[in-house]
Amino acid sequence: MADNIIGAGREMTTKERETLEKIQAEAKARLGLKEFRSEAQPLAPMGDVVESLEAKGKALTKKQKKLVDNALEIQSINAAYAGTVGFTSPLLILATLPHSEPKDEDGKPAKRFSRRSGNFTLTIEGGEAGIPYGPWPRLILIWLITEAILTESKEIFLGNSVTEFMRKLGIEADTRIRKRIHEQLLKIAGCRVTCTGYKPGKKRETLNIILLEQISIVFKALLWWDQKKEKDSNQGSLFTSSMIFTEEFYQALQASPVPLDVRATNALRGSTMAMDIYAWLTFSMFNLQEEITVSWEKLYAQFGADYTRLRAFRDKFIEQLKEVLVIYNTARVSIDKKAGITLKPSPPHVKALPKRVKLSTKNDGK
């Protein structure tokens, strides 16, 4: 029996409604709107969402309460109005980056990482800096891809310092995080991606290769940042750092960008699995015409590289999916612990945008 996540629900509590009204008032002031008009989907009863997160008789955790607050803000104003429309690539959704640093047989940082999803395989070969992993390269790539799409340029300007770049990402300056951001940016710049697609042959045991494409994400990176100088004197470089995508990767982005709400990815950045599930749901719902069920085996192959047991992966996936559905509350999803996850046609979290539309990404560092 499938266990529905989002049902009819109950009405919002007084506190939840007051929170929403506060968010709307702040949004009006921030955007200079005379009256509040949201093009977003109708606000779902948050009481239902809260109920889905609460354990048996236990109150919401601090993290979950914050998640609900973020969901109210996201639902109260459309991403285009908020200037938070972002983009990612299907290549990074069909087979995701590693959650943690991949190791080789000797326990040293691996130089090669592969993940297969159905008939699609993504292989990442790291450069001298290694393979990108964790939440930061996900956020960085979304920002880079968004800038490339909106400016229609392969060259993306990062800023005069890591701190300025972090502001563009919407991240508060922190010495430890600053170091990680710098490290992951170097890993992205040096890695090479191989995408391989298959289709079944005449016999079930044979596979015919129909696609083999090697793509370097970055053609050139000019990073003038001096971390020691920045740490000691809080000063950036006199020159603006930049990154240039390869023509192959840039054309792949132009061909099929996947729109998402960067507020959602930031709200979920405490879990790389939750970030990946959100991107996957957004991508899946965009053109979904009929109900489909994705088996646990397929989900495990796509998302479960860090798990040795399917059951442990399934339990974690369900936990993270519930949090994603707080943010993407109009996604019609149900769970069956035996069969898998059932997706039903739902409104996309971010509506399709006409080409050549310039949106504010609120990443100007001001």
- 8 A C-beta contact, residue 263 and residue 84: yes
Band (pLDDT 50/70/90 cuts) for residue 24 is low
| Residue that is written with structure tokens 């008032």 in the block | 25
CA-CA distance, 147 to 143, in Å (whole number)? 6
pLDDT in tens, 259-303: 999 999 999 999 999 999 999 999 999 888 999 999 999 999 888
**pLDDT recorded at residue 365:** 42
Say how far residue 336 (Cα) sits from the centre of its chain. 24
In this predicted structure, the answer to whether residue 148 has a pLDDT above a threshold of 90 is yes
pLDDT in tens, 77-90: 888 888 899 999 98
CA-CA distance, 278 to 324, in Å (whole number)? 6
Band (pLDDT 50/70/90 cuts) for residue 308 is confident
CA-CA distance, 11 to 20, in Å (whole number)? 13
Residue (of 275, 40, 323, 317) closest to 142 by Cα position: 275
pLDDT in tens, 199-233: 444 443 444 444 556 677 888 888 877 655 555 44
Q: Are strands 241-245 and 155-159 parallel, antiparallel or unpaired?
A: antiparallel
**pLDDT recorded at residue 17:** 65
Question: Which positions ≥6 away from 138 have C-beta within 8 Å?
Answer: 92, 97, 265, 269, 272, 275, 276
| Residue that is written with structure tokens 């109708």 in the block | 42
Band (pLDDT 50/70/90 cuts) for residue 310 is very high
**pLDDT recorded at residue 313:** 94
Question: Which positions ≥6 away from 301 have C-beta within 8 Å?
Answer: 115, 116, 117, 118
**pLDDT recorded at residue 345:** 93
Say how far residue 298 (Cα) sits from the centre of its chain. 20
